[in-house]
Amino acid sequence: MAASDFILNVVFYALAAAAVGGAVAVATSRNIVRSAFALLAVLFAVAALYAVMKADFIAAAQVLIYVGGILVLIIFAVMLTHRITDVKLSNDSTPGPAAFCACLCLLFSLVVVILFTAKWRRDSDVATLNNKVFEVALRQYQSDGSTGIQFGGTALEDSVVVSADVLVVPDASRSVDQVVFTVSAPETRDAGGKDQKETPEKEKEKEPAAKDLDDVSAKDVQVQSTFLPYAGRTQTYRHTFEKLPVGDYHWRVKLVGHEKDVKGELQSAEWTFPAAKTDFSVRKGVTEPIALALAGPYLFAFEVVSVLLLAALVGAAFLARKEVKGV
């Protein structure tokens, strides 16, 4: 695995452990103040997970609003609704088996849907390419470029990963040895010129397949992923493009391999796919697209939410006023 993959995995599992641990502490702690500070851990971990997903604006908004506003409110409410002289505030719960079993069943059903339902996964593939022989599901990870975080000159995560799931139509006469990913030059907003599309195309052609296969050759492929038990044999090929600049890209995939012809001899063959909608964009963070969406299709919702926030402000201020007790 590439180095940036390793860091990414370690970071994700650490944050996931913090989030789950915090959530369990909120659910089961016997001290309400401790469960409030465990909620702090969950909120920060979730914000960091947003940053891992390259939604940097949402991460900052989460910390600003949830931690800086809602959690402070919750802690104030905890302190205002108890006698404040004891440090160990009890937080009773009625942990009957019914609630626990209900939650387990809920978790089980969610896990089953996530892992074993193929329809959304097929719909969520970024592009599906078909020719008569193969079907390729093209996915792109970390597709929005970097979050723009650099430490003293190194960029921790600045790569784009393209993976192609090749679904082999059950037919033992074909094998794929190489997958060629070609990315066209970015149409950046300030760069111009059609000539840019020609030359970088050849520079960016990569042939990654043999290195990414974990020492398994194409002929010996079984079902690659146990998360995908639907019919057909799939093989996942991945390649990491490092440091793509901001822009719009168009991907193409070509499969190179061997085919048995009518005489039973292996011939080398290439399979290309008809043009499909495989355009992806690399942007620096998610702030600008959200702003464009809020000022565009979501303008009315934005205004309505602002009126609703005003109503909540007035309502909360009114509800929390001190009652002047009658005589």
Q: Is 175 in the site for another protein (CB under 8 A)?
A: no
Q: Is 209 in the site for another protein (CB under 8 A)?
A: no
Per CB under 8 A, contacts with another protein among 211-230 are 214, 224-228
Q: Is 118 in the site for another protein (CB under 8 A)?
A: no
Provide, rounded to whole angstroms, the least separation between the CB of residue 216 and another protein.
Answer: 11
Q: Is 179 in the site for another protein (CB under 8 A)?
A: no
Q: Is 191 in the site for another protein (CB under 8 A)?
A: no
Q: Is 210 in the site for another protein (CB under 8 A)?
A: no
d(CA 160, CA 181): 12
What b/e string do you get for 235-274 counting C-beta neighbours within 10 Å, with b at 16 or more?
bbbbbbbeebeebebbbbbbbbbbbeeeeeeeeebebebe
Which conformational region is residue 222 in: left (phi greater than 0), alpha (psi within -120 to 50 degrees), or beta?
beta
Candidate list 169, 210, 266, 294; residue touching another protein; CB under 8 A: 294
Closest alpha carbon to 167 in 117, 251, 230, 239:
230
Provide, rounded to whole angstroms, the least separation between the CB of residue 65 and another protein.
Answer: 5
Site map 48..77 versus another protein, x via CB under 8 A: -xx--xxxxxxxxxxxxxxxxxxxxxxxxx
Q: Is 169 in the site for another protein (CB under 8 A)?
A: no
Candidate list 79, 169, 191, 266; residue touching another protein; CB under 8 A: 79
Candidate list 128, 135, 149, 248; residue touching another protein; CB under 8 A: 149
Tokens representing 72 are 């402070």
Q: Is 16 in the site for another protein (CB under 8 A)?
A: yes
**Long-range pairs for 37-44 at CB < 8 Å and ≥24 separation?**
39/71, 39/74, 40/67, 40/71, 42/18, 43/67, 43/71, 44/18
Between 60 and 221, CB nearer to another protein = 60
Between 16 and 210, CB nearer to another protein = 16
Residue 163: other Cβ atoms inside 10 A? 19
The residue behind tokens 């650490």 is 14
Only one of the segments 186-194, 247-255, 263-271, 283-291 lies at the binding site for another protein (rule: CB under 8 A); that segment is 283-291
Rounded to 10 deg, the angle between the 32-52 and 72-80 helix axes is 170
Q: Is 141 in the site for another protein (CB under 8 A)?
A: yes
Tokens representing 163 are 């993976």
Provide, rounded to whole angstroms, the least separation between the CB of residue 12 and another protein.
Answer: 4
Residue 35: other Cβ atoms inside 10 A? 20
Between 149 and 256, CB nearer to another protein = 149
Candidate list 107, 118, 191, 266; residue touching another protein; CB under 8 A: 107
Candidate list 174, 238, 239, 250; residue touching another protein; CB under 8 A: 238
Candidate list 128, 182, 196, 287; residue touching another protein; CB under 8 A: 287
34 contact partners, CB below 8 Å, separation of at least 6: 25
d(CA 63, CA 85): 30
Between 169 and 308, CB nearer to another protein = 308
Q: Is 289 in the site for another protein (CB under 8 A)?
A: yes
